[in-house]
Amino acid sequence: MNAIFQSLAHQYRNDPESVYQIWFLHNEERLKAFRTIKSGVQDVIQAIQTRTFGNDFKGSVLETVVTAISEQKQIFYGAAHAFYWKPKLRIPDIYENDENQLAFGRFLQACLHSQQEEQVVEEIIKLDRLQIKGLGPAAANILYFLHPTLFPPFNTAMVNGFNLLFNQKIKLGSWMAYLDMRDKIIEVNNEYRTLFSKDLGAIAGLLFEVGSGRYVVEENAEKVLQDIITSQNKNNLKRRKEIMEDSAESSEHTEMQAELARLGTSLGYQVWIAQNDHNREWKGKKLGEHSVPRLHLPEIPHQTAQTIALIDVLWLDSSGHIVSAFEVEKSTSIYSGILRLHDLSLSVVNNNSVHFYLVAPNKREKEIRAQLLRPAFRQGTNLAISYILFSELRCHCDAMCKFGSGLDVLDKIAQTV
């Protein structure tokens, strides 16, 4: 098994279409999701504590959290299904039962603030004892984004892969089975630490590949052969389509960053491009060539400054002060972009002098307006965010570069709610 497993792990690491390459290693949106989900969990806890959570998944703050998870479609596609309100079965039983809802809130709060794995395990056991219908280890996907080095994600394909590779019979809906699975995953991850990562998402991705039938091992060979025409080819085509779509989305995202950088430079500002995007190219030029080499924010705490450095485009005045911030949201969470702009607004001394913008495709205008109208973003904050549609920036960028003389040129294309 050792030689076979090592060979499989090497195949997984080197396969350019593997979950390891396209989700774990080279997907900046995965890293951004951690901040979004953590903040969203805080909102869920507050909504439960203040009794404003509601009686359905749709429209709840929990939907925002789980949507941010399911947007990691390479591995979490369909993660939201476990939380949909199923009225005939009356599950998950956290929408109509107040005690169960409060217990779920206490569980999330304890897990969010605990840094000790023993404490989180204890919270899982306490939640399991309550036997809340429909609230099984699908919630472990939330735990993963709170504690990625301690708790692996959990879905059907991962369980199937785990059972096949380690000759186990883990049950999908059991918290105790999840803890057993977690122990084994951590044991194997430690044994083969040079092949994976401290982040358990890496090894979970391998389980996903085996469990979904994309990788063939002796234990699933017969099933893969049975499904090869109807399933395997379909999965491969779907994966290639997703990769092509991701590439197209990345290209359009890069185009908007380059246009914003070009406009900012023409208006006399220095430009900062998101730290992890400097090597992206548009029309043969790396985005980093448009950017100052380092974002210097001495008055801002280091951890917050790291988050701000991931904002897609910043315009700076001659003294290095931020005057405008732009989050480009091609397909990822509008909510996460708003959070990064909100972090920035809380961190700069004169936030009234900074202009904040979301930049998105025309088809997402309705979603942007809905997010900006949410009470959470309109109450207790002076943050004013405008939005710019891709078509407007494309159409008018050249003219604004030629005739614009200051920030007010954006007023011609920016919209507010």
Tell me the range of 133-142, 332-341, 363-372 where mean pLDDT is highest.
Answer: 133-142
- Is the pLDDT assigned to residue 249 strictly greater than 80? no
Q: What count of other Cβ atoms lies within 10 Å of the Cβ of residue 167? A: 9
- Is the pLDDT assigned to residue 333 strictly greater than 80? no
**What tens digit of pLDDT does each residue of 126-165 get?**
999 999 999 999 999 999 999 999 999 999 999 999 998 8
Look at residues 106, 108, 43, 63 and name the one whose alpha carbon lies nearest to residue 379. Answer: 43
In the chain, the amino acid numbered 189 is N
| H or E element, residue 315 | strand 313-316
Largest CA distance in the chain: 68
Q: Which residues pair with 357 in a beta bridge?
A: 326, 386
**What tens digit of pLDDT does each residue of 66-115 get?**
988 998 888 998 899 999 999 888 999 999 999 999 999 999 999 999 98
**What tens digit of pLDDT does each residue of 156-212 get?**
999 999 998 888 999 888 999 999 999 999 999 999 999 999 999 999 999 999 998
Q: How confident is the model at residue 251 (pLDDT cuts 50, 70, 90)?
A: confident
Look at residues 284, 282, 291 and name the one whose alpha carbon lies nearest to residue 255. Answer: 282
Please check whether residue 249 is in contact with residue 330, taking contact to mean a CB–CB distance below 8 angstroms: yes
Where are the domains positioned within the chain? 2-215, 249-412
- Is the pLDDT assigned to residue 117 strictly greater than 60? yes
Angle between helices 98-113 and 28-49 (to 10 degrees): 130
User: Which is higher by pLDDT, 218 or 273?
Assistant: 273
**What tens digit of pLDDT does each residue of 207-243 get?**
999 998 888 766 555 554 455 445 555 666 666 666 5
Look at residues 77, 69, 132 and name the one whose alpha carbon lies nearest to residue 105. Answer: 132
| Residue 349, helix vs strand vs coil | coil
Average pLDDT over residues 309-326: 92
Q: What is the DSSP letter of 415?
A: B
Per-residue pLDDT at 195: 94
Q: What one-character-per-residue DSSP string does 86-135 give?
A: BTTTTBSTTSS-HHHHHHHHHHHHHHHH---HHHHHHHHHHHHHHT-TT-
Q: What is the pTM of this model?
A: 0.71
Look at residues 310, 396, 8, 393 and name the one whose alpha carbon lies nearest to residue 166. Answer: 8
Per-residue pLDDT at 97: 94
Q: Which residues pair with 415 in a beta bridge?
A: 387
Please check whether residue 146 is in contact with residue 38, taking contact to mean a CB–CB distance below 8 angstroms: yes
